[in-house]
Chain A
Amino acid sequence: MATKASRTAARMMISPAVVLLLGWMLVPLSLTIYFSFLRYNLITPGTNPFVGWENYYWFLTDPSFKAAMINTLVLVGGVLLITVVGGILMALLLDQPMWGQGIIRIMVIAPFFVMPTVSGLIWKNMFMNPVNGIFGHIAQGLGVEPISFFSQIPLLSIIFIVSWQWLPFATLILLTALQSLDQEQLEAAEMDGASWISRFFYIMLPHLARSITVVILIQTIFLLSIFAEILVTTNGGPGTSTTNLTYLIYVASLLQFDVGMGSAGGVIAIILANIVAIFLMRMIGKNLDA
């Protein structure tokens, strides 16, 4: 890509893809922005008058919006914390030479291939159900009152289910990073008198920093839009205790048939996601420089 001619050729080559991508993104985006300024309710069809910022005003001042924001943050933060810390521990474990390494690694990745709805249902009915679930049985066996997960600790239960799904992803990326660490560095540190803990904090963790940032970035993008797990387990309840932003938009547009309100929520979600993305990009940029 050094000469002028080759640069021009390159631009021509990628233009179809760029145009397609732009159309792909711009059409739905413009429609969403357009709808967000209309009073557009499917229950009262007819004219869809332009109402300016009204939808935004009502969406933002709705008490469930604040709850949804907090829930989204707690959900994303909680899952990130569990998957990153858990992922590092799992990666350290899987990096040890052991019997049946290949099979164990494949089994660790398995949850990632289970569809969110399916895993949500499995956890809900087979594990967390206070009467029939395994946890309930264990609690009874121990003579303790079984926890009703989705009514007593609903958000925590969802965090747990989502973490279970994303732990393999984090583990896999961190394991690859860990395996790329030069063994001689660890040996040098060992000779320098560093204990295992020191080697972890001074050598391994800095080496993993980049991959941790990548894991955080990618997961955040997907975790902001968690939906299926909530739909099949708690339906956003009890009350609004497990309603995140995505679910709130769903409630507004498809349960209350208010397309205008839903679109306004969508635009707000896009803006929030972009703020997060910019923030993360800067963080990553700094980390990738090093």
Chain B
Amino acid sequence: MGRIQLSQVSKVFGDVEVIPPLDLDIEDGEFMVFVGPSGCGKSTLLRLIAGLEDVTTGSIVIDGSDATTVPPAKRGLAMVFQSYALYPHMSVRKNIAFPMKMARMPQDEQVRRLEAAAQVLNLTEYLDRRPGQLSGGQRQRVAIGRAIVREPAAFLFDEPLSNLDAALRVGMRLEISELHKRLQTTMVYVTHDQVEAMTMADKIVVLHAGVIEQVGSPLELYRSPQNTFVAGFIGSPKMNFIEGPEAASHDAHTVGIRPEHIDVSSGSGTWTGTVGVSEHLGSDTFFHVTVDELSQLLTVRAGGEVDLHYGDTIHLTPNLDHLHRFDERGLRIS
């Protein structure tokens, strides 16, 4: 069980309100991702849930009982830190067993859980090493192991992959997702990387300056972002925003169109532009095109092996079904 409800939770450091009062409901078994730019208060929110910071106002309810003033250890949550926070002078075995030792669990139960966790995380061979003798990915797994053995009501992850290199990150992303599928335990996962959020989440919370901009499944956020911030943050490369007469012609202050929703042709189209820098990814190519009619730069997606070069003239046609319209406050017009 791991349902976490926040109501009117806020946090003030000194005289800076890092998190204005917010409500949030995390269902049991859900993989919830907090995503937002650096410094927007994701870690703070997670630490409030963990109990490492006191809320300034509001209440936190875990599995139906008020946990607002309950100390961290008693909330039944386990946390994986960005720096892993392993205990450097203890072996991997002792690191993983530490929470069980603190809970004075019977020895045989400790051994059973330790071995199960080591099995799942491929750590069996490394149990007698010190954290300093492990690679980044292995340390990450030890940190997860230390969380698993507690059999917590929910896991809290604070940017767990940001210290890993790109290839390892993709691997660990899959492992964590798989772990969630197997354990079916609530996970709250903080990241600034929207790709991680999109690929892993059941539900995403987009945060901006401590304010929840939108909550929804990855596809909901992709299909109907509620404001320009979410629209710009979710999706890679970023959505193109167009203002002025072109937007006005669609009865909006701003219109947004994703690079993948613009057709590229060398013959004819709505707009004419000049190809600038192009990024070849193999499967796709992204062109930065200076559009004459809009006198602005748009990013467009084309197939992987399109033969276009710097300075070529091309024609673009936006797919109007996928046009997003926003008013002058940046809110979605449906």
List chain A positions with a Cβ less than 8 A from chain B.
182, 184-185, 187-195, 198, 202-203, 206-207, 209, 290
Contacts and interface: CB of A to CB of B under 8 A. Distances in A.
Interface string B138-182: 000000001000100000000000000000000000000000000
Interface in B40-97: 50, 52, 71-73, 77-79, 81-83, 85-90
Interface stretch (B98-106, B203-211, B259-267): B98-106
Contacts, number: 59
A184 B81 contact: yes
Contacts of A194: 73, 98, 102
B98 A187 contact: no
Contact of A193 (B52, B89, B99): B99
B98 A189 contact: yes
B102 A188 contact: no
Given A191-B52, A192-B146, A194-B102, 9 more contacts: A182-B83, A187-B79, A191-B73, A191-B99, A192-B99, A193-B99, A198-B102, A202-B87, A207-B89
B87 A193 contact: no
A193 B103 contact: yes
A193 B73 contact: yes
Contacts of B81: 184, 187-188
Interface of B: 50, 52, 71-73, 77-79, 81-83, 85-90, 98-99, 102-103, 146, 150
Contacts of A187: 52, 72, 79, 81, 85
A174 B89 CA distance: 18
Given A190-B73, A191-B52, A184 B85 contact: yes
Given A191-B52, A191-B79, A193-B73, A185 B87 contact: yes
Contacts of B89: 206-207, 209, 290
Contact of A188 (B71, B77, B79, B103): B79
Contacts of A206: 87, 89
Contacts of A182: 83, 85
Contacts of B90: 202
Contact of B98 (A192, A207, A209): A192
Residue of A184, A195, A207, A290 with most chain B CB atoms under a 10 A cut-off:
A184
Nearest to A290: B89
A202 B86 CA distance: 12
A184 B78 contact: no
A69 to B, nearest CB: 36
Contacts of B71: 190
B67 to A, nearest CB: 13
A290 B132 CA distance: 10
25 contacts: A182-B83, A184-B82, A184-B85, A185-B87, A187-B85, A188-B79, A188-B85, A188-B146, A189-B87, A190-B71, A191-B50, A191-B72, A191-B73, A191-B77, A191-B78, A192-B98, A192-B146, A193-B99, A193-B103, A195-B102, A198-B102, A202-B87, A202-B98, A203-B87, A206-B89
A202 B83 CA distance: 19
B99 A185 contact: no
A198 B103 CA distance: 11
Given A185-B87, A207-B89, A190 B98 contact: no
A184 B83 contact: yes
A193 B79 CA distance: 12
A75 to B, nearest CB: 32
- Across chains A and B, which 4 residue pairs bring their CB atoms closest together, nearest first? A193-B73, A192-B99, A188-B85, A184-B85
Contacts of A188: 79, 81, 85-87, 146
Contacts of A203: 87
A84 to B, nearest CB: 19
Contacts of B82: 184
B103 A185 contact: no
B102 A193 contact: yes
Contacts of B150: 192
Contacts of A192: 73, 98-99, 102, 146, 150
Contact of B72 (A185, A190, A202): A190
A185 B85 contact: yes
B90 to A, nearest CB: 8
Contacts of B50: 191
A15 B203 CA distance: 69
Contacts of B99: 191-193
A197 to B, nearest CB: 11
B103 A190 contact: no
B75 to A, nearest CB: 9
A191 B149 CA distance: 13
Nearest to A207: B89
B315 to A, nearest CB: 54
